[in-house]
Structure 1
Amino acid sequence: MKGTDEQAMALYKAYPRKVARGAALKAIKKALMSKDSIGFDALMDAVQEYAKAKQGQERQYIPHPSTWFNQERWDDDREDWWEGRRPEIPAEVAWEKVRAAISRFGLRQQVEARESLDGPTVLAVKKIGWQTLCSMTDFDRNRVFQQFKTHYEKEATNAARNAQTVTRRDREGQHGVREVGEAESGSRPREEVHGALRKILRDRGRE
């Protein structure tokens, strides 16, 4: 039980909203001890991605942890978690960097301008076109900014999610290496370990 208590507290701390602690821990323990439980590691992976996806979102729009665990929300389509996510760098800040690059490099130094911007900003700029950005007037600046904001927020969200996916795969790979090591030392049957590794590879192929 002590191990379950520690795992429940770790999951509670990782969840992006800290309210109704008693009810939350009860729901988390239920998720951990259920006969259909996906296990601590998988739950932690889901909670960490959910927290990353909701970073910057107002707390009132994030479910209570007891609700999230009781409703088995870890099994949701993770694409939905990232929908509407606010980038760590707001679109307005990224836009000012674009305007600064326009002033500094102008139309002819497009390559240098892009090198001064981060990945999501560059992708948003490509969608609009550097020439369009350089030639915009005060009259159409707001319209172009709204286009930029739409593209930028989408690309920033994709970048954040891709980074989270890479982190998860790294953890899975490290877990697989540990299992191989255990098999080599004789602590686990080699066939069992190889089966686990094949499952990881199959799961990756479906992503």
Structure 2
Amino acid sequence: MVCAYPRKAARTDAARAFARALKTGATAEGLTAALQRAAFRADDPQFIPYPATWLNKGHWRDTPATVPAPATAAEPDHPWWPRLSAQISATDFRQWIARLGVVEEAGDEVLLAAPGGFHASHVQQNFGHALRSMFGKRVVITSTPNKD
């Protein structure tokens, strides 16, 4: 069962959690069936829990939620998408780029606003080159304070 789990991490902890689950009345076949029913988002593996966590919290007993269609099923409806689609996945574009706003474009510099500091830093680090290429200018990304 551990080998079939989509996230291969902390295998020793997973093996212990698997043994504990079997002691509580679960069967290997039942756990494998629950794993096959589990709704893991393959397009974003960071949200797949560690196998030991999934077992220890009893998620194998959960009824899986309906999984929405992957974000890559349709192209983003954004004017920048055609120019960035070859460099950035549709999921990354929606999550990181589409949320940016142009504050000012002057001379050889473009000032973009991100919804928060982490967002600005992440975009600058991971997508700065693609944005520079798209605008043909130096790109500066600032954060706007959350209004929540």
TM-score if structure 1 supplies the norm length? 0.33
Higher fraction of strand? 2
Higher fraction of helix? 1
TM-score if structure 2 supplies the norm length? 0.45
